[in-house]
Amino acid sequence: DAGVIQSPRHEVTEMGQEVTLRCKPISGHNSLFWYRQTMMRGLELLIYFNNNVPIDDSGMPEDRFSAKMPNASFSTLKIQPSEPRDSAVYFCASSRDRAEQFFGPGTRLTVL
Amino acid sequence: QKEVEQNSGPLSVPEGAIASLNCTYSDRGSQSFFWYRQYSGKSPELIMFIYSNGDKEDGRFTAQLNKASQYVSLLIRDSQPSDSATYLCAVHNFNKFYFGSGTKLNVKP
């Protein structure tokens, strides 16, 4: 079985540009998580979906961040406008019924 | 106070020794506990989960849970250089998920 798929793997953009990160969860998993990881703050949960519905978005840093899950096999995390402090590795993870999570390879975002 | 606390390390152990990694959590209602291993530049990888008080063994790994003390630990027996990584403790309570900042483990040949 394929694991969690994320794209792009690397993204370099300029401040003010829109960034869209994509995730395909493991087939059959009904929970999806977006995380951000930096050296300073560690791994932070941004938002969590269960059965395609956002359950907890309290970790989304501000209105510049938005996430959608239009169906069970696809989710996006959008940053508009991007800022240099958004530079981090963004992970998507999925699980079955909020159990153990399986992480994708991550997207390394650099905002210049 | 952070929801999940881990010593950042690095913890250095010689090859073949037992490595002991510890984690405390603040939410008494926490139900599920996980240990993830993360190699530098890679994504976290699940290695153990535990739901009940006591010990759970899987190969060279043993997870220990004490809910009264709000304490989770991971023991790695016969440590190998390939075990050198950052180990993340994660705690789940219904719709809340928290990760510790991780403990860096170095296993010296």
Nearest to A100 among B49, B96, B102 (CB): B49
Res. B2 pLDDT band, cuts 50 70 90: confident
Q: How far is Cα A79 from Cα A70, in angstroms, rounded to an integer? A: 17
Q: Do B99 and A43 touch (CB under 8 A)?
A: yes
- On whether the CB atoms of residues A110 and A13 are closer than 8 A, the answer is yes
DSSP per-residue string spanning A43-95: EEEEEEEETTEEEE-TT--STTEEEEEEETTEEEEEESS--GGG-EEEEEEEE
Q: Do B99 and A42 touch (CB under 8 A)?
A: yes
Q: Compute the average pLDDT of residues B43-58.
A: 94
The pLDDT value given to residue A1 = 64
pLDDT digits (tens, 9 = 90+) for A83-109: 999 999 999 999 997 778 999 999 999
Q: How far is Cα B107 from Cα B109, in angstroms, rounded to an integer? A: 7
Which residues 6+ apart lie within 8 Å of B89 measured at CB?
A: B4, B6, B21, B23, B25, B33, B34, B35, B72, B74, B99, B100, B102
